A and B are shown apart, each in its own frame.
Chain A
Amino acid sequence: MAIERIAYRPWKGGFRGPLMRFWPIARLGIGLILKRKLFWLFLVISLFSFLFNSAIIYLIAQIQGQTGIRLPRDMRNLQTEFLFTGTGKAYREFISFQSTVVMIFLAFAGGILVGNDFRRGAIPFYLSRPIGKIEYFLGKFLATAILTTFITLVPAVVLFIEYGAFTESFAYYTENLRILGAIVVYGALVSLVPAVLLLGVASLLQRTIAIVFAWVGLFVFVPAAVNIVRTICNRRGLGDYWVLGLADIWANLRWISGVLFGIREEEYAESWPLAALALAAACLIAIAVFWRRVSAVEVVR
């Protein structure tokens, strides 16, 4: 049998259409994150909270439902305290807690997902293929969003299903469809808004340390500064400058979640469209920064 010399061979296979070309970028991003042990730690931490709530739902259902024993008052207080009551507020608090993990997770993920692409010449690599900035953005956004929804939205929906399952009737689901909708929308918001913001910040700063500092500034210092200013203004009788709260992304998310879950205890709840606008503006700025930064050509002036 003759051994043929290896020669160049033309490609005889086909090509897929342009629609899903962002998927390899997203898959690669998820793979890069999951290669790091640190991110598994964040995922495990987020899982703890979910498992704790899940176990409590199960435990209470067992005690109340199967043994018929009514929980003592202290225990009921404990249940309310820990917010696994199956109400909208419970899910909101659960998602809000998870979103804290998301923020820490994203602070460290930005450098790997986006920053390294800038620093190691991957942008020309991507953009010299038949894809554009849109596919690159979608790929990176999807990678971030998939990871964050697995921390926030997915566990919250699972808790909702579990809680309903232990009531042994469909009434919980039918009566609380609004809560399910709120979980989906709020879960998506706390996952997707930070994901978009991260793309902007990471494309601008690129290095993990810088991104972490910016993230801390955005999600810790700005809210703290807003609270301090509002408190000072209140104490001095200058009035409540609640509008300042629009600079606080946490506050905006919480504001909107109050409306979504039908929780009326929030101040200025009726002004939630302003909070939505503030979030939209922040996302638009992040997208604009990302758009401007992502370029196959680096102009050295």
Chain B
Amino acid sequence: MDLFRLHNLTRRFGRVLALDCREAALPPGAVGLLGPNGAGKSTLIKVLLGLLDPTRGRAELLGLDPTRRGRAIRARVGYMSEGEMFAPGLRALEQVALAGELCGMPRRQALRRAHEVIQYLDVGEARYRPVEDLPTGLRQRIKLAQALVHDPQLLILDEPTNGLDPGGRRALLELIRSLHGRFGKSIILSSHLLEDVERVCDSLLILQDGAMLACGPKDDLRLQVRDRYRVHLRGDVNPLFAALAAQGVTAVEPPRRTNEGWEAVLEGPQGWSTARIFELLDGSRDQGAVLRSLVPEREKLGDLFRRLTAQTGSQTAGPREVARGH
């Protein structure tokens, strides 16, 4: 079963065409909705949740039609919206418990579950404070807790890192990654920040001015950059790099130390073959450089976005905004 499926889906607000998606389908996993502000990401999410009816076409989420089975979809989905999304006058814990109750959890169990989720999200004693008084980072976590309280199959997160400092952003993305990686939750992450999507998602749906530019696995969408390879090495790598430099191979990104050794992006002259690197390694075996991996380098998300928007002839401010997080 696909995570979602779109069939010529359009949504208009008066004369404005807010969303126009051709055929698209993606399997369960971590999907990034990428596009600048106003691209139609939130509109698409609301159509998928059954909160907005499409003007034309059809959508499916988790195999269900949102226009007819909106409630069933929302029972299986945890939604974290971009804006504030709290019932006024409640403490953080009560807020999360209320979200659970609205999903059908009995009151006591909802409260117990709220404690559990809040503990997992490391909100600590701030759970007893009114949500309005919490700093942005904790408010974002409470929004995530609300989305997570009923243990949904899919999490839809609309700009979850908005307003967070770099540390808070990294921590929240790490949490989201672990929910996908360790606990098998499907994720739809909507963001205008490339880095967020790059870190968490393995598939992409790219929107610009309401139009779908591309949809598919991230690595399929990104072109291989010609004659450019990412290498992971171990041992003394300097003689190897010197030998490569003599053949006209340059390090596009300077070699950097990783936990496992060294990582570098190399670009060879036109017609250069990767076979040469193995020959050099054979020659330098005594010096102990070990090649752990060599993969063709793919274009960055920013470049991918720019290429796609250039193909559609878009002249909006989108790419600049998208590149902001890069």
Contacts and interface: CB of A to CB of B under 8 A. Distances in A.
A10 B74 CA distance: 17
B74 to A, nearest CB: 4
A13 interface: yes
28 contacts: A6-B119, A7-B120, A8-B120, A8-B179, A8-B182, A8-B183, A9-B120, A10-B151, A11-B105, A11-B151, A13-B109, A15-B103, A16-B104, A21-B102, A21-B104, A28-B98, A32-B88, A32-B89, A117-B88, A120-B88, A124-B83, A127-B51, A128-B49, A128-B51, A130-B104, A131-B71, A132-B71, A297-B51
A13 B113 contact: yes
B104 A18 contact: yes
B104 A15 contact: yes
Nearest to B16: A301
Given A13-B113, A121-B86, A301-B14, A130 B72 contact: yes
Contact of B87 (A126, A130, A299): A126
Interface in B70-94: 70-72, 74-75, 79, 81, 83-90
Interface string B102-124: 11111101000100110110000
A129 B103 contact: yes
A280 B173 CA distance: 52
A301 B13 CA distance: 8
A299 B74 contact: no
Interface in A85-142: 112, 116-117, 119-122, 124-132
Contacts of B104: 15-18, 21, 130
B146 interface: yes
Contacts of A119: 88
A129 B102 contact: yes
Contacts of B89: 32, 35, 112, 116
A28 B87 contact: yes
Nearest to B18: A299
B250 to A, nearest CB: 44
A207 to B, nearest CB: 13
Interface in B192-229: none
Q: Chain A interface residue count: which class?
A: 35 or more
Contacts of A132: 70-71
Interface of B: 13-14, 43, 46, 49, 51-52, 70-72, 74-75, 79, 81, 83-90, 98-99, 101-107, 109, 113, 116-117, 119-120, 146, 148, 150-151, 178-179, 182-183
Given A7-B120, A18-B71, A130-B71, A125 B87 contact: yes
Contacts of B51: 124, 127-128, 295-297
A128 B155 CA distance: 12
Interface core residue of B71, B106, B117 (most chain A CB under 10 Å): B71
B108 to A, nearest CB: 10
A24 interface: yes
Given A7-B120, A122-B86, A16 B105 contact: yes
Given A130-B104, A297-B51, A9 B79 contact: no
Contact of B81 (A9, A13, A120, A128): A128
A286 B326 CA distance: 49
B83 A15 contact: no
Interface string A234-256: 00000000000000000000000
A124 B84 CA distance: 9
Interface core residue of A21, A129, A295, A299 (most chain B CB under 10 Å): A129
A10 B179 CA distance: 11
Nearest to A32: B89
Nearest to B49: A128
A24 B106 contact: no
Contacts of A301: 13-14
